[in-house]
Structure 1
Amino acid sequence: MGARLRVFLTHEQDQTLLNLRKQDVPQKVKDRAEVIRLSAHGWYVEKIAAHFDWNKKTVRKVLHQWTNLGLEGLWESPGRGGKPKWKEDDIIYLEECLRIEPRTYNSPQLAVKLKTERNVQLSPDRLRRVLKKRGSIGSERGKAIKENKTQ
């Protein structure tokens, strides 16, 4: 059996962690702060894990992060997944083009326009989903049909 893992807090640190419960932070951060406070009040890792219904390794990880990083260790680090290939300015540019230009575009045409003019490569399907999520397309169907009909 290994040595007991316990953290020690100053009064200011304890008050900071206590105040996190009342602030608008993610629930995970609040739980991690409580884990650290319970450890400082003498709770064993096993008892904390049972209290939160967590694995003992998770509790140990939280305590080690507190020891190594302090308050920063409570928050999630940025994800390892793929980063967006486009920026907000690119989508705003496309929305402006759709609003100003008299012609209509489909998603493959918009993808080509984005590639040639902004050097951002997005698949037509992905581009369509991004625009749809922002509410840029499909919300004014009647207006788009009336304006783009040939006279």
Structure 2
Amino acid sequence: MGARLRIFLTREQDRTLLQLRTAEVPQKVKDRAEIIRLNAHGWYVEKIAAHFNLTLQTVREVLHNWKSKGLEGLWELPGRGGKSKWQEEDIIFLEECLKKEPRTYNSLQLAQKLERVGVARRRHRSIKLSPDRLRRVLKKRGSIGSEQGRVTKASKTR
């Protein structure tokens, strides 16, 4: 069995990690900060892994990242995951269309409009979003429908 993996923190480091619990940071960062604090307070890797329902390797990676990178090691590296096919200007264009034009669009029509505009503006990139993905992007931004918040009982079907 190898040597015990142990972190030693200064008071300032411990205070900083404690403050991360209430800060506006992702939950993963809060959990990583707490893993480091628990290790510094004498918890073994196995106990921490069981407490957070993580694998031993994950806890060890958090501790090694802290040793090598410090506070920076708590955050995810940029560039992870799939890249967006759309840009902010594309969604702003669609939102403007929804505000200006009196008609309503469904997500399929908006996706087709976005693709046609990309071709019409002779862009070097093709903007092909599925209607489902486009709907989720617009919903996340809070820009669904051409008249936001105006759904009446008369327009609902039973």
TM-score by length of 2: 0.70
Q: Which has the higher helix share?
A: 1
Partner residue in 2 for 1:43 = 43
- Which secondary structure does the structure 2 equivalent of 1:46 belong to? helix
Conserved 8 A contact 2:85-2:128: no
| Distance in 2, Cα, partners of 1:122 & 1:71 | 38
- Which secondary structure does the structure 2 equivalent of 1:67 belong to? helix
In the alignment, residue 56 of structure 1 is paired with which amino acid?
Answer: L
Partner residue in 2 for 1:83 = 83
Point out the structure with max Rg over C-alpha: 1
Partner residue in 2 for 1:8 = 8
| Cα distance change of structure 1 residues 18 and 109 upon mapping to structure 2, 3 Å threshold | closer
Q: Does 1:117 align with 2:143?
A: no
| Distance in 2, Cα, partners of 1:28 & 1:63 | 14
Shift of 1:135: 2.8
- Which secondary structure does the structure 1 equivalent of 2:121 belong to? helix
Shift of 1:125: 3.4
Alignment coverage as a number of residue pairs? 141
Conserved 8 A contact 2:98-2:145: no
| Distance in 2, Cα, partners of 1:20 & 1:131 | 29
Conserved 8 A contact 2:91-2:138: no
TM-score by length of 1: 0.73
Shift of 1:3: 1.3
Partner residue in 1 for 2:135 = 129
Of all paired residues, the percent bearing the same amino acid is: 59
Q: Which stretch of the first structure deviates more once superposed, 16-25 or 85-94?
A: 85-94
For the aligned residues, what is the CA RMSD? 3.0
